[in-house]
Structure 1
Amino acid sequence: MSRAHNISSVFARSLLLASTAAIVSVSAAAQTSPQPPLPAITVDAPQQKRAAAARPSQRNVVPSARAPRVSNPAAAPVAGDQARGPALTVLTVQQALRDIQQTPGGVAIVPAEAYRNSTVANTIKDVLDYVPGVFAQPKWGDDTRLSIRGSGLSRNFHLRGVQLYMDGIPINTADGYGDFQEIDPTAYKYVAVYKGANALQFGANSLGGAINFVTATGRDPFPNGVSADMGAFGYKRLQANAGGANGPWDGFVTASTQASDGFRDHSDGHATRLSGNVGYQFSPDVETRFYLNANEVRQRIPGAVTKASALSNPQAAAPANVTNDQQRNIDTVRLANKTTIRFEDTKVEFGAFGVDRHLMHPIFQWLDYRYQDYGGFAKVTDDRFIGGFRNRLVAGVNVLNGSIDNQQFTNVGGRKGALQSSSIDRSKNTSLYVEDSFYFLPNVAAIAGTQFLYATRNRQDRFLSNGDQSGATEFSLWSPKAGLLWDIDPTWQAFANISRSAEVPSFGESSSGSGGTAVIAFTSIRPQTATTYEIGTRMKRPDYSWEIAAYRANIRDELQCIVGNAVGSCNVTNADRTIHQGIEAGAGAAIFRGIFDNGPAPDKIWLNVAYTLNDFRFDNDPSYRNNELPGAPRHYLRAELLYKNPTGFYFGPNIEWVPQSYFVDNANTLKTEPYAIWGLKAGVDNGGTYSMYVEARNIGNKAYIASASIINTASSASLLFEPGSGRAVYAGVKARW
């Protein structure tokens, strides 16, 4: 065992013991501590300084946790126009917190200040690292294996089981798959995570739930900024944003360009991304906003390798990926509009969107896919007293339709060869949902809701020399939900819920029998349904916070890799019964205060911990009995210990620890290896104009497996393993005003 591994293991155990002690001390302190309003959960971020110039008065647009909003007086005239408050179509961080914490289940808000100014913020992992229950591991470039509560474990490419949104507009395609290439972590003011059926308001129909990436507006503080980051493996990024408001108008735009040689061979890439919006307030209670998002991504793919290669030569690419010059290149343009109208006790939101996406993807074949997705949404939130009891009703409809012009060619060294298949794949999805929260006590709500999903999939085969793969399916699925939400005090909540989720298969689950695998028609694959039981609690106070949730999902027809071959090609169909259950625990605590500065805002040592326990298994399966489901670690710990000074200086170590290996096949014959990697970061961020950071990752330069694809039965020759990056140092500077 190496000295670096010993250091990592000792550090991991020390952090785990410190976190346990902190949680025990937090529980004892909870009896006597003051109780300010309930703010963010999971993360601890520096507070923004207010701009020197006074802003116009702002209207309160979100009801408190216990009472519906009442009408505010009209804003006073300023310079011949009405004073304008924050945007109506986009909630502020605090408004989003109050809104999301009316959910009786696992949710989180991650403000940009929690990650953007203190890390390289390059991938979705940097954003969601400290949200328990989320397993996010980059594979190469921006591509990431993401799973929430074991969602999408069988998807060895792209994403399934979690629905991604940008400002409430779908990023996933109409048939359900998603990519991370269009995600720019520098572009958002916060990210909202809804686990499982807690994402009902988005029409989410998946086990994992939904993630919404929310961009700033011209009415937010510090709308202007510029940043530069650089570091290991040739990484460099420039980013800038600008915005402002003038009377009823406001606008915001952010753009970034980045490039990297990549840790592994054949993993270089570059990307340019742009997001912007323009809003107009017709009155203090009516606003419309137009959105633009555009991306150009060019990325080479190093490919999955054998376990031996991943651990002995982690920088090596899969030979076939180099020979075929495998890549994933994407061009995207997204346009959308959202309008919000606010009445006395009711808020109405509606909008429409369209997406044009071109995927140029030379892999085993040269995939040329053109996506045209479009849709609309409407939502009503009514919060009032009925017969002396508070009642909050949320209802809406989401429509997401689209087509894929699907052509596949022979891949000749990264160039198009002869046409191998061609089809038009059409998807339609309409979901209607309603959820009512009735406060039968001033601080306890009974919550009930349901969602109805009608979806169709239709394939028109245009390449008939290998047979006609045309076909169509349709699904009508109900997903009811019931729960309780108890505001124990203004900083502490407990919740429980029972919910159903239903996930419709995408076209990617079908197979034409390539690579020696069996033919599986997409029309033969059933939707995945699950009944989930969840209970938990969350608290946030100035010097400590926690959230903990336990859940169990009984799943029928899980979309699972059942048919495959020894080298890693896998076709997805339905498993009979499976079980996903686990514990999601996060805690933050100032374990020491006033070390060098005991003034009104003393310095402190802050511990932040996110721990996930996963127990995923077959349930008396005819072939795999009660074997573990492959693809996710049983234990996953992310922790950091930071010294924080009131001047904004911070410094400290962090660790990522997977103490047990996990299986990569249904037969439970081949495992990954456990690992612990540690890093250090330091910087200055006092919430003002300037900030800077330096971050070192995997200081021990440990060779480890960051993620793995899965298969039915694996062997030592199976190409399933994605090596994690080696030792790396990054630095960045940012200015905002």
Structure 2
Amino acid sequence: MSSAVRRLRGYVLASSAIILISPANAQSNSQQVLPSVTVEAPGQTRATPARPQRNVARTARAVRPARAPAAPVQPVAGQGNGPRAVPGVLSAQQALKEINNTPGGVALVPAEAYRNSTVANTIKDILDYVPGVFAQPKWGDDTRLSIRGSGLSRNFHLRGIQLYMDGIPINTADGYGDFQEIDPTAYKYVEVYKGANALQYGANSLGGAINFVIPTGRDPLPNGASFDFGAFGFKRLQANAGGANGPWDGFVTASTQASNGFRDHSFGSSNRLNGDIGYQISPDVETRFYFNANEVRQRIPGSVDRTTALTSPTTAAAVNVANDWQRNIDAVRIANKTTVRLDDATLEFGAFGVDRHLMHPIFQWLDYRYKDYGGFAKLTDDRIIGGFRNRFVAGVNILNGTIDAQQFVNVGGFKGAQTSSLRQTPENYSAFAENSFYFLPNVAFIAGTQYLFAVRDQHVNFSTNGDLNGRSSFSLWSPKTGLLWQVDPSWQVFGNVSRSAEVPSFGESVSPNFLNPTLPTIPFFSIKPQTATTFEIGTRMKRPDYAWEVALYRSAIDNELLCLYSAFGNCNVTNANKTVHQGIEAGAGAAIARDIFMGGSAPDKIWLNLAYTLNDFRFDNDPVFGNNQLPGAPRHFVRAELLYKHPSGLYAGPNLEWVPQAYFVDSANTLITSAYAIWGLKAGFDNGGPVSGYIEARNIANKAYIASASIIDRANAASPLFEPGTGRAIYAGLRYRW
């Protein structure tokens, strides 16, 4: 392994828990990389990052002196055919340089931030220290996930955030998503784009996008195995292998896990496979094939009333047990991406296909088959124009599909008589462009836009549920403008104004009158798109022993997709009039003490990690709910960790999750959750080498609390809306890599 690779790996492993993004300082003849705002990972001592070096093979060509290079490429382990980096392979540090060009709320979370020091079982373990993100497990892998108040009214599945695996959509073509297909053990880093900052993915929602990126055979330490076990019968075995041979490389990772679950009727198991195969056609052209397969079986304990959640948290909802509610998924994804590196530009293009089967006995037995497909192309051009650096990005995205939706009577968990047969056809076509012009060496003016054309078409073959034929189409522009100011190499300020637009899925509708005569009939094709204008300002700073980020935003939303009516205890989503989402997102890391037992160039230290989110979500003079708070998210959310870290790799310390104020679960603001504070401890060993291990205790006081809640328009004390949090739990794990 070359010294450059060792320095790069040391930096990536050392600077992890949350890498909050700051843009590169563009100069006329060179670029300096802003040190990332970092909350350090357990057990890692920070290494001095290597200055990016231009590749020997690259500089052997004719070089124009005024050129501002795009992200410098680094040699990667295992390449085996010369030092020139493969164009389609990005390390965490290279991905950090790329995401640095975003003038707003983004984050990059490397695997070392969570993979080696926690059980890493849910998306919450990945995103726990990203401010602005509210992620709370409900049961199994299912999680209530919201960014800046997105999707608050979606009591099942996910809406308002678009999920990707290596750029391949996890969400269905009509917009909803599941978490069961996410394997936290599989990724080398995770990118978070908040709101309209996800412009490049065609993301058209308030919450933005999250991209999960797996390693390649050219990444360091591609082989490994891990074993995790712990409370409530949890056990997981994971293994990965990879390597490179000349122009070829490949990587595959597989995991199998099972858990009885904290609550009754919450047993789940899963088998997951992820991988990629790459071929370097020439020094400037690479093509890569991706594959992902999942087999998930999960029982659903359901929501219960507030009293039950706080006094008997393991109890499952009676109807869930009687009818054996489940969510079972079989899914396969394949994709190809080709990357072509030009003198001043990079072109990426590809296609993908997804085959998903959802077997979902709930109030009825849902048998849904999804076939999604699409393609993408993206051009990034970074050059000097008239003595000024200019970076231009443009692309197109297509995500289409068909849904064969069959529903049956649920008879104790088995299919009964058929109740409906629908064919749903969602289509999404988006194009985007963004230009960053550095009118000063350290200040860029950024302007961009996205256009989305979407279709939602439903054909009813048969239905006793009141389903209707219908078609709706949407044509939406989402412009954005902003500024990036690199005050100095370690301090950055940004601001932007952006628009986002969220197209409804087939799940948004109000039941026909014959199901509940008190409700208006609002079919899915009458639901309007949700649009928002967001103002955002922020600043980030990085110093050797402390780092912080603060961002403030305000979103004025028209036609927010919210729960305004209810039937049979379920929320029916339609358009509100006007609402406001605003808040503060703050992250910090600091060495509050050092040289305690060991000094020198690599001292021990006590490191504080902190993430704080303030949510202020309200109706805006609504004719029914006035200026009430929007239900579904806490006003304050705090995540903190205090670790003693020894340069040998040993670490130990407590952590805290705190919701100091209960929040409403209904739009009428009549019923609340409960405030809570839970704490834990973890200890382990991780020095960036081949062996790491941990032991982690969660909710040590065994406090009964409400982790998440479904919402409704008007609630009462008997409303079954609450998911209890997990009780005291201990987990341990061991990982070996080579």
On whether the aligned pair clears a TM of 0.5, the verdict is yes
Secondary structure of 1:508's aligned partner: coil
- Structure 1 pair 468–255 and aligned structure 2 pair: CA distance change class (3 A): closer
Match of 1:385 in 2: 384
Q: Is the 8 A contact 1:578 1:618 kept in 2?
A: yes
* 1:171 and 2:170 matched: yes
**Which letter maps to 1:366?**
W
What is the distance in 1 between the residues matched to 2:175 and 2:456?
11
Taking a change above 3 Å as real, the CA distance of residues 305 and 402 of structure 1, as seen in their structure-2 partners, is: same
Cα distance in 2 between the residues matched to 1:393 and 1:475: 27
For 2:74 and 2:583, the matched residues in 1 are separated by: 49
Q: Which moved more, 1:188-197 or 1:485-494?
A: 485-494
1:542 is matched with which residue? 544
1:531: which partner in 2? 533
In the TM superposition, what whole-angstrom CA distance separates every residue of 1:21-74 from its partner, at most 9, and x where no partner exists? xxxxxxxxxxxxxx9942443532337999xxxxx978789x9xx973179999
1:686 alignment counterpart: 687
Distance 2:706 2:153 in 1: 18
Shift of residue 284 of structure 1?
1.7
Separation of aligned partners in 1, 2:73 and 2:680 = 52
**Which residue does 1:120 correspond to in 2?**
119
Secondary structure of 1:434 counterpart: strand
1:233 aligned counterpart, secondary structure: helix
Equivalent position to 1:38, from 14, 17, 34: 34
**Does the C-alpha gap of structure 1 residues 548 and 515 become closer, same or farther in structure 2, counting only changes over 3 Å?**
farther
1:543 is displaced (CA, Å) by: 1.5
User: What is the aligned length?
Assistant: 691
The question of 1:724 aligning with 2:725 is answered yes
The residue number in structure 1 matching 2:68 is: 68
Look up the match of 2:675. 674
Match of 1:463, SS state, is strand
Question: What residue is the counterpart of 2:618 in the other structure?
Answer: 617
Task: State the TM-score, normalizing by the size of structure 1.
Answer: 0.91
Cα shift readout 1:595-630 (whole Å, capped 9, x = no counterpart): 000021000000000000000000000000000000
What does residue 188 of structure 2 align with?
A: 189
Mark the CA change 1:309 to 1:58 in structure 2 (over 3 Å): closer, same or farther.
farther
Does residue 1:556 correspond to 2:558, yes or no? yes
Counterpart Cα distance in 2 of 1:290 and 1:709: 39
What pairs with 1:104-503 in structure 2 (closer than 5 Å)? 104-464=103-463, 469-503=468-502
State the shift of 1:464 in Å. 4.7
Matching of residues 579-590 of structure 1 within 5 Å: 579-590=580-591
The residue number in structure 2 matching 1:591 is: 592
- CA RMSD in angstroms comes to 2.3
Q: Is the 8 A contact 1:109 1:191 kept in 2?
A: yes
Contact kept, 8 Å, 1:39 with 1:94, in 2: the verdict is no
Cα distance in 2 for partners of 1:650, 1:60 equals 42
Contact 2:146 2:207 survives alignment (8 Å): yes
CA deviations 1:79-125 (Å, max 9, x no partner) are 9x841544422321111111111111011000000100000000000
Kindly provide the amino acid, as one letter, of the partner of residue 575 in structure 1.
Answer: A
The CA distance in 2 between the partners of 1:49 and 1:246, in whole Å, is: 30
Report the Cα offset of residue 490 of structure 1.
1.6
- Counterpart residue type for residue 680 of structure 1: L
* 1:544 alignment partner AA: Y
Amino acid at match of 2:172: T
1:128-184, Cα deviation, whole Å (9 max, x unpaired): 000000000000000000000000000000000000000011100000000100000
Q: Provide the C-alpha distance between the structure 2 equivalents of 1:716 and 1:396, rounded to a whole number of angstroms.
A: 51
Amino acid in structure 1 at the alignment position of 2:275: G
CA distance in 2, matches of 1:36, 1:258: 44
Return the alpha-carbon distance in structure 1 between the equivalents of residues 57 and 201 of structure 2.
26
Paired AA for residue 524 in structure 1: S
Name the amino acid aligned to 1:732.
G
> 1:248–1:84: structure 2 CA closer, same or farther, 3 Å change rule?
farther
How far has the Cα of 1:278 moved from its partner? 0.3
Alpha-carbon contact 2:437-2:444 (below 8 Å) kept: yes
Paired amino acid for 2:559: D
CA-CA distance at 1:540 after TM superposition:
2.7
Distance of 1:363 and 1:90 partners within structure 2 = 43
Q: Does 1:696 align with 2:711?
A: no
Q: Secondary structure at the match of 1:506?
A: coil
CA distance, structure 1, for counterparts of residue 295 and residue 93 of structure 2 = 33
Relative to structure 1, is the Cα distance of residues 339 and 73 closer, same or farther in structure 2, using a 3 angstrom cutoff?
A: closer
| Equivalent-residue separation in structure 2 for 1:251 and 1:368 (angstroms) | 35
1:93–1:47 Cα change, 3 Å: farther
CA contact (8 A) 1:86 1:220 kept: no
Cross-structure match for 1:24: none
Secondary structure of the 1:469 match is coil
Q: Is the 8 A contact 1:354 1:372 kept in 2?
A: yes
Cα distance between partner residues in 1 of 2:273 and 2:207: 28
Mapped to 2, the partners of 1:395 and 1:72 lie a distance apart of 21
- Contact persistence 2:618–2:628 (CA under 8 A): yes
Change (3 A) 1:106 1:73: closer
Separation of aligned partners in 1, 2:506 and 2:362: 18
Structure 2: 5+ residue runs without aligned partners?
Answer: 1-30, 49-53
- 1:502 and 1:202 map into 2 onto residues whose CA distance is 13
Report deviation, 1:285: 1.1
SS of alignment partner, residue 308 of structure 1: helix
Report if aligned partners of 1:482, 1:498 keep a CA contact under 8 Å in 2.
Answer: yes
Q: Pick which of 87-96 and 347-356 moved more.
A: 87-96
Q: Which residue matches 1:662?
A: 663
Supply the distance in 1 between the matched residues of 2:207 and 2:304 (Cα, whole angstroms). Answer: 27
**For residue 669 of structure 1, what is the amino acid of its counterpart?**
T
Identical positions, percent: 71
Which residue of the partner structure matches residue 13 of structure 1? none
- 1 CA distance for matches of 2:71 and 2:225? 39
CA distance in 2, matches of 1:98, 1:82: 25
2:678 counterpart SS class: strand
Contact 1:42 1:130 in 2 (8 A): no
